[in-house]
Amino acid sequence: MKLNISVLGAGSWGTTFAASAARNATVELWCRDATLAAEINGQHRNSRYLGDLALPPRLRASSDLAAVATRADVLVVAVPSHGFRETLARAAPHVRPWVPVISLSKGLEQASGLRMSQLIAEILPGHPAGVLGGPNLAQEILSGKAAASVLAMEDPAILRQLQQVFSSGVYRVYSNTDVIGCEVAGVLKNVIAIACGMADGMGAGDNTRAAMITRGLAEMSRLGVALGGQAATFAGLAGLGDLVTTCSSRLSRNRHVGEQLGRGRLLEDIIGEMRMVAEGVKSTAVAVALADRTGVEVPMIREVGRVLAGGSPKRALRSLIRISAGAETDPG
């Protein structure tokens, strides 16, 4: 029998993941908006987030959170980090025991600094928790372009089963047992993408972007290892793969925010005109706090935090350029 996968959150990535998984499983997508659910069911589109890209007719949507959660053999949470706790808490009373819960969110809870897998453990203790990361530009995947993700869970048996279910066509899913590393990488790459976007907005070149991606990866790895992740994870899809895409693609929300900041625009104006969430904006201050707690040097992440708090992008870039260059493996 096919598994019943319930996906909570009908944004661009939640909808795309649901459409992909529907090849191998029965998938139901929860939407906050009943009108959007009706469009997905009737027109097989999510025009709000994915334009005219077609969704498979077998994908069903509903605005009834309790009903969708009740039917889940696997629960996938695809809401932004700031709504993760509230959504999961509402679904929790309806989720059957031992159902795996997978996070697609690449953010941190602002008030607590917790990762989404930690929230799953808190709200649904005893449920196997996992995260899906990697370079996942929704429009490209839904258009049928080849892509790869990484699924991280501590239980290797469940991991292998879900890896097969989540993979489809030219969308490949690799496995990793380093949940912390994959999750931290997915959070921090958004912050580095804002930095790269700022440099692009100020007219920096490809050499600058390459240097920032490389030094940004070093910051991600140092902080990720200090938080309990494995260094090798940051060289994989959740780390380097996602970082390169998010820092380079015109489809990247976080890079877009940085680019607009680099052009002199105000953060509130940029965010106000965006339909989707740029997780890096909310995660940066939490990342800086984690770096302070662990004593890890993260100059690029720290400069992004200053800019998001109202500082000058030009001053931030000059500050990074003036950092004394020591051995490549040294902090900073």
74-110 core/surface letters (b: 16 or more CB in 10 A; e: else): bbbbbbbbbbbbebbeebeebbeeebbbbbbbbbbbe
Catalytic residue among 106, 189, 282, 314: 189
The one-letter code for the residue type at 305 is: G
How far is 226 from 207, CA to CA, in rounded Å?
Answer: 29
Query: Alpha helices, DSSP H only, in the chain?
Result: 12-21, 34-43, 47-50, 65-70, 81-91, 116-123, 138-142, 156-166, 179-201, 206-226, 242-248, 253-262, 267-272, 279-294, 299-308, 313-321
69 by Cβ neighbours in 10 Å (0-12 / 13-18 / 19+) ranks as: buried
Q: Is 189 part of the annotated catalytic residue set?
A: yes
Chain centroid to Cα 85, Å, comes to: 16
Beta strands in the chain (DSSP E): 4-8, 26-30, 60-62, 74-77, 101-103, 129-133, 147-153, 171-176
Report the amino acid identity of residue 300: M
SS3 assignment, position 278: coil
Q: What angle do CA 26, 27, 33 make, to 5 degrees?
A: 150
Rounded Cα–Cα distance for residues 53 and 16 (Å): 10
Enumerate the active-site residues.
Answer: 189
